[in-house]
Amino acid sequence: MSDWFRQWADRHAAIFGLTSPQDLEMFAAWRGAFVSAGFTFSELNAATDWMVKQSAPEFRNEHLKMIQTFIRQRRDEQRRFEQQTAAPMGKSYCSLCGGTGMVVVPHPRFVIDGEWTMNSSYQPTAAVSCLCEVGKRIEQAQFNKERNQKLMSLGLYETRIPRGLWTALLHHKSKAAGANKKAEEATRAADKRGKVRKPAALAETEEAPAITGSDDDTPF
C-alpha cells in the first residue's frame, strides 16, 4: 500500500524530531486538514524543504501555519502565473474556466440535499461546459458529434445546484474548517510536550532524504 502522507509525515518528523505519541496524533489530525485542502505529496515536501531553510520554528503550531501558508502562497503564485500567461493568447480570460471552456464541479449525482455525499477522502467531480464563448463552442461541437450524449452546460447544472452552493462544496469550506480546528487542537496539545528540535541538517539541505515513490502530485 502506498501511503505517501505517511511517507511525508515520517520525513518531516525525522527532520524536526517530532516522534512522540502526541506528535503521531498531531500528524493524524494534520492529515485530515491537509486532505481537505487537497495538498499533494510534492507540495508538502516543498513546504518541509522550505522550512528547513528558514529558521526552524520552535512550536508545532508554527509548523502547521508555515506549511499551510507556504502551500497557499505557492498556489496563488502559480495561479497568477497561469492567468498572466493565458491572457496574451488572444482569448479574453474567463475566471470560471480559465479559458479552457470546461468547469470542474461537484458531480451532480452525488450532491443530495445540498451535501456532497461521499467520504472525506474522495469527492467525485464532473466537468461541464462553461458559460463563456469557449465553453459554448465546446458544447456545440459535442452536441453535433454525439446527439444522444450532450455535454451538460454550466447553465443547466446551475438550475439544479446554484453557483454559491457548488463553489462552497468544491472548496470544502465547512469540512476544511472542522479539520483545521482538529489539526490546531492536536498541534497545541503536542506543543505542550516541549519545543521542536532544531534540524541537525539545517546547513546541508542537500542531504535531506530523497523523495521516492510514483504518487507525486496525486491528490489525496
Instruction: Identify which range of 51-59, 89-97, 148-156, 173-181 contacts Zn ion by CB under 5 A.
Output: 89-97
For Zn ion, give the closer residue by CB, 33 or 94: 94
94 belongs to the binding site for Zn ion (CB under 5 A): yes
Residues 6 or more apart in contact with residue 100 via CB below 8 angstroms: 130, 134
For Zn ion, give the closer residue by CB, 51 or 102: 102
- Bridge pairing between strands 111-112 and 115-116: antiparallel
15 belongs to the binding site for Zn ion (CB under 5 A): no
Residues 96, 126, 127, 176: which binds Zn ion (CB under 5 A)?
A: 96
Q: Round to whole Å and give the CA distance between 181 and 168.
A: 18
Q: Round to whole Å and give the CA distance between 38 and 207.
A: 28
For Zn ion, give the closer residue by CB, 44 or 132: 132
For Zn ion, give the closer residue by CB, 47 or 130: 130
The torsion angle over the Cα atoms of residues 161, 163, 164 and 167, rounded to 10 degrees, is 90
35 belongs to the binding site for Zn ion (CB under 5 A): no
Residues shown for the chain: 220
Residues 6 or more apart in contact with residue 143 via CB below 8 angstroms: 150, 151
Question: Per-residue x/- mask for Zn ion, residues 47 to 66, rule CB under 5 A?
Answer: --------------------
For Zn ion, give the closer residue by CB, 67 or 94: 94
For Zn ion, give the closer residue by CB, 52 or 151: 151
Number of residues interacting with Zn ion: please give it, by CB under 5 A. 6
- In whole angstroms, how close is the CB of 155 to Zn ion at the nearest point? 12
Q: Are 60 and 190 contacting, i.e. CB atoms less than 8 angstroms apart?
A: yes
Concatenated DSSP letters of 158-211: HHHS-HHHHHHHHTTHHHHHHHHHHHHHHHHHHHTT-PPPPPTTTT-GGGSPPP
Q: Which three cell numbers stand for residue 138?
A: 465546446
Residues 97, 105, 154, 169: which binds Zn ion (CB under 5 A)?
A: 97
Question: Per-residue x/- mask for Zn ion, residues 111 to 150, rule CB under 5 A?
Answer: -------------------x-x--x---------------
- Residues of this chain that interact with Zn ion (CB under 5 A) are 94, 96-97, 130, 132, 135
